[in-house]
A and B are shown apart, each in its own frame.
Chain A
């Protein structure tokens, strides 16, 4: 009940969070990874020179007319990001670098151990970007339609479209905040926006609505049971009743994601982080955004009619 009592505070807090998030996305910008802009990403181990620093290698690459976007070193493996150079240019580059770090005791072909080599041309990147945008839009629209369908029977005391609308606002909240955090991290050069982030966003879309539906299901049930006279009270009661479920479910999910974050490979680590944030804020918003907003909408609706 205390949640419903302070609706204004929660809504203002949510609004502030959304505005700050939009602002930080605008300021920091999303640094898109090679998945969307194209590029060649290499994992190289240079056998002959274990003392080589990433700066050295970067200079060596620049000397060979291939300015890398970034070079990082982790456990003797260099992660190199280049423009989407073609096969021939790549072979030449590799040969030149092998020659530079040539030693007597290792044959030239074995100097560079290529652990992975991923090329994505700019056109493929562009295409993937468009597809990601389409996927998000299609998922959003389908979810709106589904929400309206699910709550079609409940047009008392508020019209069923209010449920859908509220869920969408919560959804925007849940997506914007992780995106803003990722924008910040990407501007610091810690990560890049890749296709896994888009997958995470789409999963957040699902789980966010999920949480909201569970709370609203309760509202629907309680309205049927007690009638819609004291709507605020009913919503408050519904939150109370579904609170344990919401917290426990998201706790289990957060635990799983924590496991992936700590023990998964680098590629899925940030994916787990994005999902972690999304699920955390998804649960938060179903309680502190969606329900208060529903009550506020009810009050406005009630006043009008």
Chain B
């Protein structure tokens, strides 16, 4: 799967990695090293910086307000331009008079939280030969994309999902009339074949209508009824003339179409055929010979692009492969928002309860745990935003559950610390020892969660996948916060001798 990565020259890889490397080394510089007094301050600053940067990724508004405020100040400063003590660099900066704003990252909400429609189609490939499959799927996707584009949805997602069977997924977020949209995607557009009237006949009819005489009204350009409609077309594809290599369009009809087309072409050699898509002429080929076998070829001044366009138009009549709805999910926008608020409320209540519980249970250490959890939450949400993961109800639930798991790490450390303190060590030694001993348990237990989360992510699709993904991110980040944030802040707490003397900080020695 990652073979293409290996094929890249090494220096390209290096360039791709460079930004990650810089960020990693920057972070690592701040948090590495033993928890000695000298390092601790630097490490704490690193953690705080990391959280602030992450926070700005989640919530840009305050930063942007500050930038706005600053910009107006610069505007006022510009009055200084008249002053004599200009410096060239400062001058240039004043000319711009603006700080650029942070990009406004908002969370991508899933359909269940935003409202919209998601339709999964079964693609019936049984009639398509093995070699044509990818082409058929490609044009299917194109045809559906074209139809969806007409709905004016801001960011439609149309993709193929390959599991036990190949499925086509269409996701339309925030659409006004989902029912109509679903109907139109599956609908057969109106593709019709008409016989053109000879020029003089058209002329005569047009003249008659111009005088206001609409008696025996007929279409002046072609004869009705239609010879064929889109449902008679089996497939259309671009072919190349074997002699000239000129692109042509090959059309094959179903049995009914074959019969009718054969009859028609037999009697009308030399006539013009109009092909209309939703009332618009997309092609007007001349009939050169009788076509008895249902395999017509439209030749002309095609470029490969224009041939492809016509093929797409013809295929719009008949989707290249039949599709049927396998599953569909429509959620009204207001219901989505309701679910969103409910999830946020549940999460907030959960977090609050955990915070209260931890502080009641472990006092000052509990406060450290709450701090670690807040940083944990910020980091996870920032990762969500940074990589553009879609938030769904299941995803948010996964996140809330992962908070519980992150607490586990802290509890393990604290309980170990307690033991060490009871055995008579001082705070600093206990913290060190407690951390060292708890680490093995934390690692082992998180790895099991990681295993199930990864399997969930790979095996499942849709809802389950979102849950697995958040759990994977949650576990990785909670391992990170356990070794960095919790450790650093516990050590930092150890230096606050005055705090450890108070009732709030002395909880451990109070027991037994």
Contact = CB atoms under 8 A, between A and B. Distances in A.
Interface of A: 43, 86-87, 91, 113-121, 123-124, 127, 131, 134-135, 138-139, 142-143, 146, 150, 195-196, 198-199, 202-203, 205-207, 209-211, 213-214, 217-218, 221, 241-242, 244-245, 248-249, 251-253, 255-260, 262-265, 267-268, 271-272, 275
B179 A121 contact: no
Interface of B is mostly: helix
Given A202-B452, A249-B407, A260-B346, 18 more contacts: A86-B325, A118-B328, A124-B327, A134-B459, A135-B456, A135-B459, A142-B455, A146-B451, A199-B394, A207-B405, A209-B445, A218-B441, A252-B357, A255-B350, A255-B354, A256-B353, A256-B401, A262-B346
B132 interface: no
B353 A121 contact: no
A12 to B, nearest CB: 28
Contacts of A113: 332
Contacts of B361: 248
B329 interface: yes
Contacts of A142: 451-452, 455
A209 B358 CA distance: 24
Nearest to A147: B448
B440 interface: yes
A25 B315 CA distance: 52
30 contacts: A43-B332, A43-B335, A115-B334, A116-B331, A117-B179, A121-B325, A135-B455, A135-B459, A138-B455, A139-B451, A143-B451, A199-B456, A199-B467, A205-B452, A207-B449, A209-B448, A210-B449, A213-B445, A218-B441, A241-B419, A249-B404, A255-B353, A256-B403, A256-B404, A258-B353, A259-B346, A259-B352, A264-B343, A264-B346, A268-B393
B357 A114 contact: no
Contact of B346 (A139, A146, A268): A268
Interface stretch (B91-99, B256-264, B408-416): B408-416
Q: Which of A196, A198, A213, A264 has the most CB of B within 10 A?
A: A264
B463 interface: yes
B319 to A, nearest CB: 15
Contacts of B122: 121, 123
A89 to B, nearest CB: 12
Given A248-B415, A263-B346, A206 B448 contact: yes
Contact of B163 (A127, A198, A242, A271): A127
A275 B394 CA distance: 13
Interface residue SS majority, chain A: helix
B466 to A, nearest CB: 10
Nearest to A269: B346
Given A116-B330, A143-B451, A131 B460 contact: yes
Contacts of B437: 221
B458 to A, nearest CB: 9
A242 B441 CA distance: 11
A299 to B, nearest CB: 26
A203 B471 CA distance: 10
A203 B342 CA distance: 22
B325 to A, nearest CB: 6
Q: Lowest 8 A-B CB distances belong to which pairs?
A: A259-B350, A256-B350, A253-B404, A117-B330, A119-B328, A259-B349, A264-B346, A210-B445
A196 B456 CA distance: 12
Contacts of A217: 440-441, 444
A28 to B, nearest CB: 25
Contacts of B405: 207, 253
Interface in B459-506: 459-460, 463-464, 467, 471
A195 B463 contact: yes
Given A195-B463, A206-B453, A114 B448 contact: no
